[in-house]
Amino acid sequence: MDIRLGIPGGYSVRILERPGLWMPSDELDILVADLRSVASKTLPAGELKYGVFAGDRDRLAHSVITLISRKDDITPVAFNALALMDVNLGHRSEEVLHLGLVMVDPDLRSQGFSWVLYGLTCVLILLRNGMRPLWVSNVTQVPAVVGLVGQGFARVFPAAPPEPQNRRSLLHLHLARSIMRHHRHVFGVGPDAGFDEDRFVITNAYTGGSDHLKKTYEDAPKHRDQVVNEFCENQLDYDRGDDVLQLGQMDMPTALSYVGREVPRGSVAALTFAVFAAVLQRLAMPLWQWADTRHEFGILRPLEQKK
């Protein structure tokens, strides 16, 4: 998936699925440089040393990048870096979309980018997957993000305030155990960090490359619902550096609710185009690859030419 669209305000959006699998090295280097450019404005004290910032092709082969740039000079101003994780449950594997990093140029945080950065890509991947419910994960200590995920996805645990539909299921627990066992590197948590299975709290989480993201409770952006802020203050030790691991699902009712609630009226056309492009790629690309007898696509081999 490589989709480009314009949004109001003079900005363009590019959504790239697994760029490490198909993007040429020079273009991949430019993409990583754009991500680092936005990060340098957000975290001037140092560089992140994990995930997409490392520029590792294997990491980028399991990433979905949403990049927002100015149309006039192509300056990057915001991005969302999601990670696709194949989580082993023993008897089967479940693909989980980790919500990853969201960074916005501090001077542009009131430009209305949230609908693009926090939900658009999830909706598109849901459609690409045949509208089957998509598991998502989130690791954060920021109350505003905890509340956003809890209210924006289905069957989220933990969530504040707790609701009957947001209870911890056995599948939640199995997914969390496997993520903590095999995928800590995705969100920069070191091997020495602990995990409280009852509360889904990662203790001493900032020792695996994400050190510069650690915040005090006072500095962490708050949610408009004070219940969410109190939940984070009570559950997390900010001096030690704790995070909450949230697991939930994006399904069709959630996607439709997101579209009606978050997408600005002036951006409906852009959303419609993005959905059309994603569905068209899902339907048309396999036919095109099957018909192309000159190139190799996965298990499809080129037609041998007679001599």
Reported as a single tens digit per residue, the pLDDT across 292-307 is 666 665 555 555 554 4
User: What pLDDT is recorded for position 291?
Assistant: 64
| Strand, helix or coil for residue 45 | coil
Mean pLDDT across the chain: 83
User: What pLDDT is recorded for position 179?
Assistant: 95
User: What pLDDT is recorded for position 248?
Assistant: 94
172 has pLDDT over 80: yes
User: What pLDDT is recorded for position 294?
Assistant: 64
Strands (E) across 173-259 are located at: 194-196, 201-203, 243-250
pLDDT tens digits, one per residue of 254-264: 888 877 776 66
Helix (H) or strand (E) holding 265: none
User: What pLDDT is recorded for position 306?
Assistant: 46
More confident residue, 213 or 288: 213
User: What pLDDT is recorded for position 167?
Assistant: 87
| Strand, helix or coil for residue 301 | coil
More confident residue, 212 or 18: 18
Number of helices (H) and strands (E), helices first, in the chain? 10, 10
First-residue to last-residue Cα distance in the chain: 37
pLDDT band at 54 (very low <50, low <70, confident <90, very high): confident
Residues near 90 by beta carbon (within 8 Å), at least 6 away in sequence: 174
Residues near 77 by beta carbon (within 8 Å), at least 6 away in sequence: 11, 38, 68, 69, 70, 104, 105, 108, 111
pLDDT band at 58 (very low <50, low <70, confident <90, very high): confident
Q: Are 96 and 62 in contact (CB under 8 A)?
A: no
C-alpha 3/C-alpha 12 separation (Å) is 11
C-alpha 21/C-alpha 28 separation (Å) is 10
User: What pLDDT is recorded for position 301?
Assistant: 56
User: What pLDDT is recorded for position 121?
Assistant: 83
102 has pLDDT over 90: no
User: What pLDDT is recorded for position 307?
Assistant: 46
The pLDDT of 174-197, averaged and rounded, is: 92
Q: Which CATH superfamily is domain 2-291 in?
A: Gcn5-related N-acetyltransferase (GNAT) (3.40.630.30)
CA dihedral angle for residue 67, residue 70, residue 75, residue 81, rounded to 10 degrees: -10
Give domain limits for the chain: 2-291
pLDDT band at 276 (very low <50, low <70, confident <90, very high): low
pLDDT tens digits, one per residue of 196-253: 999 999 999 988 767 778 889 999 989 999 999 999 999 999 999 999 999 999 998 8
Omega before residue 191 within 30° of 0, cis: no
pTM of the model: 0.81
pLDDT band at 173 (very low <50, low <70, confident <90, very high): very high
